[in-house]
Structure 1
């Protein structure tokens, strides 16, 4: 919305008629005091502000609204018959004006300036909304990440308490990936990785037998039963879970638990 401030009603009505004809919403104030009251209660894109008015003049209005929250993005264009007075022009810009237009107003020039100010205002609002959306997404991501970290920490505490450790074996490159809990279980230190050979040796199986039996869904059940019997005396319980892709073994997941440390 545009606010026209002028103590001469004819000046207000002529500008209002032109602007409304071109689709702009327009409000009017006929004194500086009335303008300040309206600016406090409404938000305007642009204020067309007459400089010379009795009582509170245009310069005082501009100075007073600097601290208004509702006017922080509002553009001020001064209207004056004394356009040639350089001191008044400088004063106008010092009070926060974005432009200075002489009277009588050239309506074509005014419309050009008003449309430009509206485009700048809308671009600023869009940018502000985008920044706000990004900020909200960022805060949500922070909350999600913190929740995830808390869950991971709780799972780690539970696994440590239960003596549970995990590992993965990838068939494509024969890569063995022990978890920190598995390293701690076998080496007493999370940062010292247990080797593939040492681990399979403890289980009493070879890499070839793991690949052979895990490639067959029925055989993996038999292997789990065999491991349970073999490792019971060592105080360990092991469960293997194969993963397939296009009916080919892709990965073997494993869970190892120290029976003696289990709270069950």
Structure 2
């Protein structure tokens, strides 16, 4: 689409009547004519405007036209403005040669030929308009190119995100299949073994003193599957921002004791022990089920990666917040992995060698703590154990009505 370019013309002459006559000749739609009665006045206008053409009288008092041209050629802003000199002197004074040396594009002699003036001015105005239109087109093309580059970068970023999502989905399905297969295979083999014993009449395997151990093994495998399914459901809810918390008064110290008691058998199976240091009571307003989930995840991880060494949990009051700390003496975590382990499906290379898992526990824990307006962090180095800490305000802020994340 063609653009309309307004051309500014500068005429310089010390005689007002010459300025009026010249302006009358060159005035036309789309042109603005500026008059200057001296070279000094012309310089002031040149600093303010971009001109398509300057028509300059040679013989002026003070600074003459040639000197003005020399100044124009020495300034970046004005050096490209075409100059037409006008002179009433005879041709024998060789002003034309001096004018071209000063950078003029043409030279006119008085009395002026109106047709020649109009033609020459029209040529330079057309050139200026074409140059401006070309510059506009180049700027438009450059802007379009930049926008195209930005679009390509966005598409590449989106493609990388999609590829990452596909990899995460494939890894997730692979991990889920592996994690669920282990307890299912155990239960299946146990069932087959019991069926074989029954078929052969070996009822001593089902003696009353053996049943508690048998039931405990089954329950442990079932709990593992339930935990995996719950984790997957929680991740789905988190992706839909549908994981809400229902707060009520909770005694965190009592809850911590209950969680530790529930994990006694798991600790024994790992060859470890759990010690708890907590006040008699520590009351706050939290979602009891979700905070229990946080404590369980932290202790389970400590037992899993603690190398069979004792695990310590502390619960204490610090100002207007509760602080929970879980310390193990296991494989530890490199500082560069401290942030990454709280992302979904993220596990360190060392942790993968020690125990199976989906890499969801700490991700879910982090989200639950955030929903309580709290903070979770880790202090650890490779091979030196780890200390996870959780800070929970005693009274979480109430979420805005449209979030639905926190309700009292």
Short-chain TM bin = 0.5 to 0.7
- 2:84 counterpart residue number: 77
Distance 2:93 2:134 in 1: 35
| Pairwise CA distance, 1:112 | 0.8
Range 118-127 or range 154-163, more displaced: 154-163
Counterpart contact for 1:163–1:262, Cα < 8 Å: no
Q: CA 1:161–1:44 in structure 2 vs 1: closer, same or farther (change >3 Å)? A: same
Distance 2:10 2:164 in 1: 64
Q: CA 1:155–1:106 in structure 2 vs 1: closer, same or farther (change >3 Å)? A: same
Counterpart contact for 2:25–2:117, Cα < 8 Å: no
Distance 1:262 1:88 in 2: 91
Distance 2:83 2:357 in 1: 75
Q: Which has the larger radius of gyration?
A: 2
Q: CA 1:122–1:261 in structure 2 vs 1: closer, same or farther (change >3 Å)? A: farther
Select 1:129's aligned residue among 136, 158, 171: 136
Match of 1:7, SS? coil
- 2:102 counterpart residue number: 95
Aligned residues: 169
- 2:58 counterpart residue number: 51
Distance 1:261 1:68 in 2: 72
Counterpart contact for 2:73–2:80, Cα < 8 Å: no
- 1:30 counterpart residue number: 37
Gaps of 5+ in 1: 165-259
| Pairwise CA distance, 1:131 | 0.8
- 1:144 counterpart residue number: 151
Gaps of 5+ in 2: 1-7, 172-355, 361-408
Greater relative CO, 1 or 2 (CA 8 Å, sep 6+): 1
Q: CA 1:143–1:50 in structure 2 vs 1: closer, same or farther (change >3 Å)? A: same
After superposition, the C-alpha distances for 1:196-222 in whole angstroms (9 at most, x for unaligned) are xxxxxxxxxxxxxxxxxxxxxxxxxxx
Q: How does 1:1-264 map to 2 (within 5 A)?
A: 1-20=8-27, 22-23=28-29, 24-66=31-73, 68=75, 71=78, 74-82=81-89, 84-85=91-92, 87-163=94-170
Counterpart contact for 1:162–1:261, Cα < 8 Å: no
Q: CA 1:66–1:262 in structure 2 vs 1: closer, same or farther (change >3 Å)? A: farther
| Pairwise CA distance, 1:148 | 1.1
| Pairwise CA distance, 1:18 | 2.5
After superposition, the C-alpha distances for 1:170-205 in whole angstroms (9 at most, x for unaligned) are xxxxxxxxxxxxxxxxxxxxxxxxxxxxxxxxxxxx
